[in-house]
Amino acid sequence: MEQTKYLIAGCSHAALSALNSIRMLDQDGSLTLVTKDDHLPYSPTVLPYIVSGQSKPEKVKLRDDEFFAQNKVNFISGAGLSTLDVDNNSVTLQNGQEWQYEKLLLATGAAPAIPPIPGLTDTPYHVLRTMDDAVNLHAALESAKSAVVLGGGLIGMHAAENLIKVGVQVTIVEMRPQVLPGYFDAEAAKIIEQTFIENGVAMRIGNTVVGAAPDGEGAKVSLDSGDEITADLLLVCTGVAPVISYLEDGPVETDQGILVNDCMATNIANIWAAGDVAQAVNFYSGEKSVGGILPAAVEQGRIAGMSMINDPAINPYPGGVPLNTYGFFGNQAISVGVSDENALPKDTEVLLNVNEEEMTYQKILIGEGCLLGISGINTDFDPGIMWQLVLQRVDLEPVKEEFLSNPTDTGRDLMSRTWR
């Protein structure tokens, strides 16, 4: 059996961020990175640009062999975790190797969740999570003239835009009454939907897919409205689920994802989890929930790494905050924190600024003098600063007037004072 001090499963944002924290304090301890994919590290977020051809697989690698050599990382790709033996502190990989660890980080991310639509399993469809998915989809575009995208979340919207840009006729079907729920309220979502329509995307919002079937080389989906849509290509983007199959029914506690405390430690000694695979506390509700965004994976990975190395500078995870920067057809939408006041107490202050002509939108939510959320389309504010204002519960009372009229400069002023 092979031995390693640190074993990290996965090589995406959470994993690389943890690696960074560990190497800050321990430059020599043996470190092994194992991943299911047979590629150098890349981000799932960049895949829509591979699909469209705007970027190429070899251009988007996040780390290379030179980095691994310099940082004394033993990188094993194409061999995911297959089982875990916590009594032995060991794992088996899909290539049959056995590894014993002192400390293990599970950063295996998420994978597409396929909805139980009758007929779907017999129908050819694409998903978008891995480099191979993206390369396949890009290849399929050569012959495809039309596509149906199931799901108006971040991934579906990104993919749809990139498809229409290369000349594919696209329909988006979203079951809920708006696109991008959780990041934007209905009004902002409307602006985004409208832009998609103007750019030629067919939007079927509030429609549920009730069946799917093959249609020649392509697919046919039927909606609850009775309509049927046929397309050369079917793309399923209806959500993701944490990759935890290697845990089977073992002792590591899971719910939707792997349950972790505020240092990203699981219930089992020497095992941590971070990123899309983890179910960590939410900043607002205090309940544990799965996240699925890149900045949270980076943050959780950083804390997990610090905890694994016993870094005395560690600060516990403050909780997940919804964050989103979303570019569409040359517009920029940004959302930090809560965007929908309906879920908040009645006395929440709401400042809304919409200019339909210039297509700008901004909403600021303040509760008990603190920023709860800010979202905008084509308005500028620094999301990183807003995130800190939320997390640090900075008292905005003394500067409220200025903040509401100019969140950018006021935020910079507040943060400069804090950090200088």
How many other β-carbons are positioned within 10 Å of the β-carbon of residue 299?
25
413 binds another protein (CB under 8 A): yes
Q: Single out the residue of 137, 170, 243, 303 in contact with ligand FAD (rule: CB under 6 A).
A: 243
Position 262 contacts another protein (CB under 8 A): no
In a 10 Å sphere around its CB, with 0-12 CB exposed, 13-18 middle and 19+ buried, how is residue 327 labelled? Answer: exposed
Report the side by side order of strands in the sheet with 233-236. 202-205, 169-174, 146-150, 233-236
Site for ligand FAD in 45-104 (CB under 6 A): 45, 47-48, 80-81
Task: Considering the complex, state which of residue 95 and residue 315 has its C-beta at the smaller distance from another protein.
Answer: 315
Q: 115 exposed, middle or buried (CB, 10 Å; 0-12, 13-18, 19+)?
A: middle
Stretch in the footprint of another protein (CB under 8 A) among 80-88, 130-138, 263-271, 398-406? 398-406
Q: What is the DSSP letter of 230?
A: E
Assess 333 for contact with ligand FAD (CB under 6 A): no
In this complex, which beta carbon is closest to ligand FAD, that of residue 191 or of residue 274? 274
Q: How far is the CB of 334 from another protein (least distance, A)?
A: 7
Q: Is 402 in the site for another protein (CB under 8 A)?
A: yes
For position 231 contacting ligand FAD by CB under 6 A, the verdict is no
- Is there a contact between 124 and 231 (Cβ–Cβ < 8 Å)? no
Task: Quote the least distance from Cβ 41 to another protein, whole Å.
Answer: 9
* Residue of the chain from 18, 34, 148, 236 that contacts ligand FAD (CB under 6 A): 34
Among 7, 9, 201, 258, binds ligand FAD (CB under 6 A): 9
Q: How far is residue 336's CA from residue 327's CA, in Å, rounded to a whole number?
A: 15
Q: Minimum CB separation from ligand FAD for residue 52, in Å?
A: 12
User: Which segment (173-181, 230-238, 259-267, 408-416) binds another protein by CB under 8 A?
Assistant: 408-416
Interface with ligand FAD, residue 152, by CB under 6 A: no
Q: Give the Cα separation of 155 and 293 in Å (integer).
A: 11
Contact 64, 57 (CB under 8 A): no
* Strand order across the beta sheet in which 360-367 lies: 323-328, 331-337, 370-377, 360-367, 349-355
Classify residue 198 by burial, with Cβ atoms within 10 Å: 0-12, 13-18, 19+.
exposed
For residues 128 and 237, the answer to whether their CB atoms sit within 8 Å is yes
Kindly state the number of chain residues that form the binding site for another protein, as judged by CB under 8 A.
Answer: 50
**Cβ nearer to ligand FAD, comparing 47 with 164:** 47
Span 332-391, contacts to another protein by CB under 8 A: 332, 334, 336, 378, 380, 382-385, 387-388
Q: State residue 255 phi and psi, 5-degree precision.
A: -130, -105
**Residue 158 found at the interface with ligand FAD (CB under 6 A):** yes
CB 278 within 8 A of CB 258: yes
Q: Does 409 bind another protein (CB under 8 A)?
A: yes
Q: Which stretch binds ligand FAD (CB under 6 A): 183-191, 272-280, 343-351, 395-403?
A: 272-280
Residue 310 CB-half CA count within 13 A: 2
Q: How many CB atoms lie within 10 A of CB 149?
A: 29
Q: Are 280 and 302 in contact (CB under 8 A)?
A: no
Q: Which does 4 bind (CB under 5 to 8 A by kind): ligand FAD, another protein, none?
A: none
Q: Could you write out the DSSP letters of every residue in 327-354?
A: EETTEEEEEEE---GGGS-TT-EEEEEE
The residue ranges that bind ligand FAD (CB under 6 A) are 9-15, 34-37, 43-45, 47-48, 80-81, 107-110, 128-129, 154-155, 158, 243, 246, 275-277, 292-295, 297
The residue ranges that bind another protein (CB under 8 A) are 13, 16-17, 20, 24, 27, 43-46, 49, 54-55, 59-62, 294-295, 298, 302, 323, 325, 327, 330, 332, 334, 336, 378, 380, 382-385, 387-388, 398-399, 402, 408-413, 415-417, 419-420
